[in-house]
Structure formats: structure tokens, C-alpha cells
Amino acid sequence: MNASGFSKMNELFDIFRLLGFQFFQNALLGGTIAALACAWVGLFLILRKEAMIGDGIAHTAFGGIALGLLLGVNPILTALLVSILAVLGISYMRRRGLAQSDSAIAVMLAVGFSTGLIIISLAGGFNVELFSFLFGSILTIDQTDLIIVSILGISTILILGIFYKELLSITFDEEGARLIGIPVRPLSLAFNLLVAITIVLSIKVIGVILVVALLVLPGLSALQLNLSFKGTTLVAIGIGIVSMITGILLSAVYNVATSGVIVFTAAGIFLFIAIYRKLE
Amino acid sequence: MLDNTQSGVMTEKTPVLEVSDLSVARSNSLVIEDANFTIHQGDYVGIVGPNGGGKTTLLLALLNIIPRTKGSIRLFGQDIESFSNWEKVAYVPQDAVNFDPHFPLSVRELVALGRVNRSNLGRTLKQKDWEAVDEALEFMGISDIANRRIGQLSGGQKQRVFVAKALVRKPEIILLDEPIVGVDAGTQEKFYKKLSDLNVAKGITILLVTHDLTAVFCRMSKVMCMNRLVNVAEITEQLEPAEFLRKAYGEHFHIVFHKHECERVFEDE
């Protein structure tokens, strides 16, 4: 490593100095909002046995990102539009009996991703930008991105907070919830839209490929602790945020891909809890 | 219908459920045919009959979950099609206890779900809701396991928890579909005792699908035996259980039932 490399490393080691940078503050704030929303939505997804819908919508969003880049519009917004269409498409296929849940997700995943590939080939490729959406580029979140992520994230968290007990009731016993007059279908659709929004707001943070990890790993880790629902939710959110912040700091220190380190941290926590429970 | 209360004054009992000419078909086959009966406030009704006799179908029809082929159902004097006060009705389904044991829910949280309904949509549970939860837990004798995970409960505890969940809504009628399958006789007895307390202490009308004929004839006020056709009778000294049950179980059905069986049941308490 040359002298400038050492100097850069020294600079990165100074976490307090890093915190003074706008780009780093944006990354931490955007990442925390995304982690919170992902962990909460993800826990419901795991309990509804629909974790793969996260992966499906994320890949479908890829088509929306390509469309945004082609049209010169903010790709997060086009990804949001395409993801919402994907959710509505999956719901329609289920309701009409055209496909079971997993098959409907597979169809949307394939259609969305192939749309993205066609747009890329037609546009002659926009590799660097696209790469940042596929694998995330949290340190390049600008003020506009942060505003979009904040609005989407806080809206998601508020709606989850407001309909928390109804969503829990539907997740535990859908038929029973329907019987006591809870509007199951509208709330399930609203929840799936929240999944789409959460995924889209996380794309810039962690990327299309790895967003499912941010959805699933915190919830899976918390579930191993045999807590109440409230306890499991709080621990899942805590693990999501800790993974996010640790991942950002470690990736800055060691100069490696942030999304990879975030997922690695979350996976490490999952493994630690699994081993701890086994030895207990 | 007249009821002889403890004071000796004859009072008229209020009809809770009035069923007229009810027929229900499932998979193009008639499961309930021309049922006519009335359930009054405070009745404790045991619904018995052979497997496939339409017991679960009847409960689902009474809850308006499945459509009727013909006939009418009136709940609390109102036609079921326009009935909206479902807070008065609680239902414990047959498979309620067959939940995912890894679902992260404490007993208290599960019982609190019973307070969730259309009228408090989007609002957090209030102090009075949590007081109702604690009251239901106490009544069912499960306050000590309030913070336990539902996956860690025994069969008998699960049943009590689900009755508490139904009870927390402060219903006026509870429908239970075989809630005590797969538990030992002692636990079953305790469970029936709790239901009797519920019926007597809170005046809640209970409809219970069961195969436990001793519990029905010892504890309940009415018996409904069904095998497509529905027969209802008051449980009195004059009622001959074997003869009545043959209407659903067939001519070859035999049951030897002595009054002292009930005495044994109550002595055990």
C-alpha cells in the first residue's frame, strides 16, 4: 500500500471525522430508515410465509430502474411504479386463480427482470449507474434520494404502526380476522404495497439483489429468541439497524462493498444467535 | 319460552338465535335439511352427531360464513343478512389450537387480539381493552401464564386461551367447534366446568360441538343432535338420551347412561 493509501486509511479510521461528512450522514440516516422499515415489514413477511415476494418484487423493480435511466427520470420513482404494478399483478393472479402465490411471484419476477434487460440492450447499456442499483451504493445517497427514502420510509412505518394490530390479527388467523369484520383483502393489498415501497426505498441502500436479506435476516434472528410479538418486533428492528450501521462503518473503514458488509453483519448476528441457542 | 328463575317467578327468555327451514349444501350435496330451532339467552347447547353430520357446517352457516340454500337465520332478532353487531358473537373454530407453534405471540397478546374489530380499526388498544384482557385471563384461570409464548402451552391451556380470546370481546353468544380434542379426561372436565361457570356467571349463551355425550347430558340445558336433519331437545329428567340420539346415529346406536355418571362428574369438582 502506498503513502496515499495509508493516509486515506487513517482518515477512514477516524469515525468521528467521517460523521461530519454530509454523504456519511445521508448514508446513516437513509440506511437506518431503510433498515427499520425492512425489519418490520420483513417480520410480517416471514410470518405470512411470503418472504419470496420480497425477492420477486425487488427483481421486478429492476425493470423500473432501467426504465427510469432510459427516460432520465429518478429511477427510484419508476421502480416504485413498476413494483406497485407488480404487487397488483400478483394479487390479481391470485384472486382470479390464474396462479398460486409463488407462481405469480415467479411470473412477475421474470417479466420485470426481462423488461429491464430489454431496455438496457435497447439503450446500449448504462452499466455504472445500473450496477449501483443492482448492488446498492449507500454512500452516494444525495439529498433528493434521502428525501424520497425518508418520505417512503416514514410513511411505511406510520401505516404499519397504525394497522399493527389488524395486520397481526390477519397474519395469525386470516379467517378469524375476516369473521370479526377486519377488512382482510384491502389490508393485505395495502401491506403488499408497503412491501413494494420498502423494497424500492432500500434499493439505493443495499441493491436489488440483496434487499431480501435486509427483509428476512433481522426477523429470522429475532424469532430464534422466543419472545413475544412486541419483543420480537423490537429486537428485529434493533438487529436491522445495528447491521446497517455496523455495515456502513466497517465498509468505510475497510473500503469494501457496503451492501455486502451489511448483509454479512446481519448474517453474522443470525449465526451467532443460532449457535447461542444451540449451546444454551 | 318460560324460565323458572331462582326467585320462582316465571320470566320469558329472549330468543338469541332463530333458525327457520334452514338448508345448506356443500359440494352440491345437502348437508343440513330443513332445520328449525330456537336458542334462547342463557342456553347451554351441546351439538352432537356422527362425523360428517353437518355440525361444523351448521356453525359456519349460523355465522354467515357459508351461504344457505334456503331458510332464514335471525340473530338477536335481526335477519343475519343485515346483522352487523358481530361483537356480540364469538367463535372458537375446530382448528384454533393448530396454530404455528413458532409464531411469536404471548398469551396476553393473543387474547388481546380478541379486542380487535371493525369499530377500533387503526386505533391502539386502550386501557379498558387491556383490563378486559386481564379479566378474561383471570376468569379462565390463566393469569399465571399470561407472558408465556403460545407455542409453549399444553393442549388444555391452549383451549382456555382461545376461550379467553373469545370471551374478551364480551360476547353474548359463543360458538365452539370441538375445542377439546386430544386432551386427557381430567383436563376436559376442567374445561367443561369453566364453560358452565361462564354460562351461569355471565349468562352467556353457548353452542358447543362435541362428542362427549356425558358432558352434554350432565352439564348442558339443550342437546342438538344432527345428521343432515337437526333435532333439538331440552335436557330434562324425561329425556331418554339413547332414544333421542338414535335420530342422528341410527337405530343400532346404544348408550347406557345413568344419572350417577353426572353425580360423579360433580363430585370430582
pLDDT-above-70 percentage for chain A:
94
Name the amino acid, one letter, at B65.
I
A102 interface with B at CB cutoff 8 Å: no
Residue B121 domain-assigned (yes or no)? no
Output the average pLDDT for chain A. 87
How much is the pLDDT for B258?
64
| Nine-digit cell string for B247 | 335420530
Residue B154 domain-assigned (yes or no)? no
Average pLDDT over residues B2-24: 71
Higher pLDDT pick, B107 / A121: B107
A183 interface with B at CB cutoff 8 Å: yes
B147 interface with A at CB cutoff 8 Å: yes
> Which of B63, B89, B109, B148 to substitute to test the interface with A, most A CBs within 10 Å?
B109
Residue A85 belongs to domain with CATH number: 1.10.3470.10
C-beta atoms of A230 and B109 within 8 A:
yes
pLDDT-above-90 percentage for chain A:
43
Residue A86 domain-assigned (yes or no)? yes
C-beta atoms of A177 and B116 within 8 A:
yes
Average pLDDT over residues A109-137: 80
Higher pLDDT pick, A129 / B257: A129
pLDDT tens readout for residues A240-266: 999 999 999 888 888 888 899 999 999
C-beta atoms of A183 and B118 within 8 A:
yes
Rounded to the nearest angstrom, the minimum Cα separation between B240 and chain A is 37
Domain that holds residue A144: 3-275
Average pLDDT over residues B66-70: 92
CA distance B106 to A227: 8
How much is the pLDDT for A45?
93
The confidence band for A6, taking pLDDT boundaries of 50, 70 and 90, is: low
Residue B70 belongs to domain with CATH number: 3.40.50.300
> Which of A47, A158, A179, A235 to substitute to test the interface with B, most B CBs within 10 Å?
A179
Check whether A228 has a pLDDT greater than 60.
yes
pLDDT tens readout for residues A184-223: 999 999 999 999 999 998 988 888 888 899 999 999 999 9
Structural domains in chain B (count)? 1
Please tell me the least confidently modeled range out of A3-7, A39-43, A181-185, B97-101: A3-7
C-beta atoms of B110 and A172 within 8 A:
yes
B116 interface with A at CB cutoff 8 Å: yes
Of the candidates B100, B118, B147, the beta carbon closest to that of A181 is on B118
Q: Chain A residues with CB inside 8 Å of B150's CB?
A: none
B95 interface with A at CB cutoff 8 Å: no
Check whether B4 has a pLDDT greater than 80.
no
Its pTM stands at 0.84
Domain that holds residue B60: 2-96+172-268
- Cα–Cα separations (whole angstroms), residue B91 to A212, A275, B162, B163, B209: 37, 41, 9, 9, 11
How much is the pLDDT for B8?
45
C-beta atoms of B147 and A228 within 8 A:
yes
Query: Angle at the Cα of A242 (from A220 to A264), degrees rounded to 5?
Result: 65
Q: Chain A residues with CB inside 8 Å of B176's CB?
A: none
Q: Chain B residues with CB inside 8 Å of A173's CB?
A: 96, 99
CA distance B266 to A270: 53
C-beta atoms of A172 and B99 within 8 A:
yes
CA distance B203 to B198: 7
Check whether A2 has a pLDDT greater than 90.
no
The confidence band for A50, taking pLDDT boundaries of 50, 70 and 90, is: confident
Rounded to the nearest angstrom, the minimum Cα separation between A50 and chain B is 14
Residue A280 domain-assigned (yes or no)? no
C-beta atoms of A168 and B113 within 8 A:
yes
CA distance A266 to A35: 11
Residue B139 domain-assigned (yes or no)? no
C-beta atoms of A229 and B104 within 8 A:
yes
Structural domains in chain A (count)? 1
Rounded to the nearest angstrom, the minimum Cα separation between A183 and chain B is 8
Residue B33 domain-assigned (yes or no)? yes
A179 interface with B at CB cutoff 8 Å: yes
How much is the pLDDT for B182?
66
Average pLDDT over residues B35-44: 94
How much is the pLDDT for B12?
66
Residue B145 domain-assigned (yes or no)? no
Residue B106, strand partner residues: B149
The confidence band for B38, taking pLDDT boundaries of 50, 70 and 90, is: very high
HEC sequence for chain A: CCHHHHHHHHHHHCHHHHCCCHHHHHHHHHHHHHHHHHHHHHHHHHHCCCHHHHHHHHHHHHHHHHHHHHHCCCHHHHHHHHHHHHHHHHHHHHHCCCCCHHHHHHHHHHHHHHHHHHHHHHHCCCHHHHHHHHHCCHHHCCHHHHHHHHHHHHHHHHHHHHCHHHHHHHHHCHHHHHHCCCCHHHHHHHHHHHHHHHHHHHHHHHCCCCHHHHHHHHHHHHHCCCCCHHHHHHHHHHHHHHHHHHHHHHHHHHCCCHHHHHHHHHHHHHHHHHHHHHHC
Q: Chain B residues with CB inside 8 Å of A230's CB?
A: 109
Average pLDDT over residues B137-152: 92
Higher pLDDT pick, A49 / B38: B38
